[in-house]
Chain A
Amino acid sequence: MMRVHRVPQMHRALAALVICLAFGASVFAQADQLSNVKGLVDQARAAFDQLDYENTIKSLDSAIGAIEARPTPEAKPLLPQAYDMRARALFGLGKDNDGRADFISLARVEPGYVLPGQVSPKILAVWDEVLKANVTELRLTILPADAEVLLDGARVPANGTLPIAVGDHTLSVSRIGYRQVTQPFTAAAGAATVVDSLVLERTATVFRFVTAPAGVEVVIDGISHGRTSPGPPPPEYAEKATRAGVPVAELSAVLTVTDLPIGAHRIEFRKDCYVRAEARPTVDRLDDFVLDPVKLEPAVASVSVTSNQPGTLVLIDGLQRGVAPMTINDVCEGPHVIELKSQSGRYFQRVDARTGAKITIAGTLRPAFALVSASGPAALNTDLRLTIEKQFQSLQSVTLFAPAADETAKALSAEKLPADWLAFDSNKRALGASAEVAAVMRGDLSQRLSRQFDAQGIASVTVPSAASRNRLVVSLLAAGSSDPDVIELDLDSPDATSLAVDRLDRGLSFFRPSLGMTAVDVADMEGPVIVAVDPNGPMAKAGIQPGDVLLKANSQPVPDSAVLINLLAGRKADEALTLDLKDRAGAAKKADTTVYMTPRLIGLNDQSLMVNKILVDLRNRLQAQADPVTDSVIRLNLAVALARVGNWSEARLELQRVKLNDGPGVGAGTVHYLLGLAAERTGSLAEAEAAWRAAAGTTALETEDGLPVKDLAEARLQGLQRRPSQH
């Protein structure tokens, strides 16, 4: 018998091994295993129903072998019925000992198993016998009742009676706030094992929090204990939520915090953009504390933004929020940087948003220089760029801003530039690595870096001397410029900063009123003497001649040219003026004339101009609609500014778009002269010559108070003649 009993067992073991190996080698995972096991069990059941016990056993050998080899949670529940079925099949084939062995296995796997369906008395007797010998009872009474009770690792109720297999077991009881108890015991056959009045020892308080919304940081006595995660919480919180007036759907999951000592505590509930909440519970005993759901109210302000330019992007703390005009209703309480940005400028405003506040920002975009580098022996841990940003915050015409340090470091690193690549002293001498950067390269870099930081230009700050660390030099480069403007600041002297701000804010005007004549002051004369008259101007038409002395204008005495200039300063085009004069012979004469506006032009060589600032300013102005004459005069000034920073090709393009009339002062002759210079610089000598010849035939001036372009153009033409022949 023994052999008979063993052989099938060996077969079953071998089959199980084969299946196990096959399964083990398979790339299929548990799902496949479960599916196969289920299939085998189903096959076994079909065979069993047809009383085909041989095939039933064959299928179940394979199924049980597979489950025992890999007792997954999904497969394990199939094991009792598999043992049951195989036992009955074995009984059916008369293999009672093998059937009995399967019943023993079944009782040990599931002590509470109840044989289903019709069972023969014989088998039932065997089963009862097996139960008697292998199964007994465990009676549990554990406090607290909600403690987690694990019997051999499987969860069981904390109170009641349950069947267990005879033999060694481990009971583990735990609950948050209590000391865990682990208790091994041996269950003997025929007698119940009783675990009665097992009371866990309380060791800590337990707080449970639920918030609305989720994501709230719970800070107890200044120490963060985590954030609530999205809910829902257990159903028992529904009532609490109703009481707190919070929709259940908004509630978070429960956040449990233990180990709070006896005493008073301060619990803060924090979440960005929400008003903080606070609770101050006092723990007088070790216990569980469950707070009602904590609802945080939103803490936001509304910000309405308008801009002086259409299509302006609005950013808050660097995040794009839309296009102005717009209102943003969810700006969190706290400090923010509101930024407006367009192709021609920027506007910054730092705001401290208070809950419920309505903030209005009317941004005037100004051309901006991004402070990309700082160099020199600065004080430790000082970002000089931020110092400069602060020093120049009162600027009205341009903005200097310091992008994030990591961004500038990344940008300079990408260009392989050291911090002192744009370092100059107050004498405009290149310092350090700056001396190695060629003008052309500087122009390219200013273009690229400006674009990278969405600015109209870039800037740097340098401390030229360790002996005076509070003396800083700021270098400005408009996009595409190779020739920087330098401004010195003395942090110990607010006056120096004011002067620098004034210098940068110095405005440009593009026209000035004129009468079309030149008057000079002469000692012992009672009014300015007219020494030249524009032959096509209003004075000539009114009969004024060189040598006449101007005495009054609109009955106001004009004792000298300064008074005349002041008198004209506030006049508009075509405004009438009645002049009282006397001629060379001393005879009185009167003349009615009108004021006209004459273009103004910055000096091509004027070193006192902050030409990079002017350049970004002029580019900005061109964005606005202007009449054709104003547009031309702005372009003419822009061309000169471009020429000043070495960008002659762009200057030439702008000059070609300028349309001014011939005449004295700044006019078509001025444009011709400058076009000649641009053509010469860009290698077109023939064009330069033609332009200068055109200029030499005019009465135009280099600037409104400058030299006649005739003289300048003729000098240039002579210079061309002196050049060696190109042939």
Chain B
Amino acid sequence: MPSQFSRSTCFSFLILFFVNISIVFAGTEKNSDEFDVNEMIMHHIKDSHEFHIMDINGHAVSFPLPVVLWTDNGLVSFSSSAFKHDDSGSVIVSRKGQDFIKYHEKIFYTNNNGSEKFISYDQNGNIINKKPIDFSITKMVFSMFISMILLVLIFVTTAKSYSNSRKGEPTGLGKFTEPLIMFIKDEVALPMIGEKNYHKYMPFLLTLFFFIWINNVMGLIPFFPFSANLSGNIAFTFVLAAITFVITTLVANKDYWKHIFWMPGIPVPMKLFLAPIEFLGIFIKPISLMIRLFANISAGHIIILSLISLIFIFKSLWLAPASLFFSVFISLIEVLVVAIQAYIFTMLSALYIGSAIEEHEH
């Protein structure tokens, strides 16, 4: 029941993202012995408590990551290897007098009703086990830390490279990174925010752009320690969109609020009509940011994995060249897409901030 539930959800998402492929493997859904493409893709798209590297002779080789839980008895942490690669809720880990199981990459308390199974469902098939708050360093958090280290290395090196130059021209790594920084400055910050205030938001926009971009690119590299679908995770995009929302709301001037609640220059009935729409717009803007990045990056991962999975769906090696060709082709497009998505996210953030501090003359 629960697996069916998750399958149907996943299935509906696939229809959303990639109709053709979902139809192709719809037939394989019922048989549990066969290679389950849906499960594989969803497993990849979602977060995980261990970093799976490869399988050797059916044994998973993975990089164990720390599990950090805020439980009823305080903070508990242990290595994810304690679950012994189990994801079906059958291995119990006991810490501080509490028993934990991992089921579909979620950590639950075991139920206390003494039955053989550790997971209980209500009549709708929903799990009723209690959950500790999970602050684990998951695959995505781990990937995010790597991206942070890379970013700091790259840009601190860039900053240092200016001391080697005679007249402030970029040297070394700066020759590569400076055009990107200048692009954000000249094509995003200046036109969207304006010459007067843009410099205040430059650090935010630059951090945002490179943080999204590097995580997008890292997601495209298909081996450890990359390949995590971090920027295609709704939590990640939610936080970035929320930061843009908070900044926009905090720096907004009187004009901005006036244009939302009492649009000047139009008749009163129209003002009353527009106010709720504009008010909703405050929230819809960051939500669209969140969903756009999430959907684009996830879709990219799903398409590439689906194309690779064609080999396993048709169980034919002859399909491999075509499958590889298409997945390489899509990967190349994705290289472009991830840069564009990072750019769009940054540009729209700048646009929203710019519209919030814009000074109208009328």
A-B complex is real:
no
Residues of chain B at the chain A interface (Cβ within 8 Å) = none
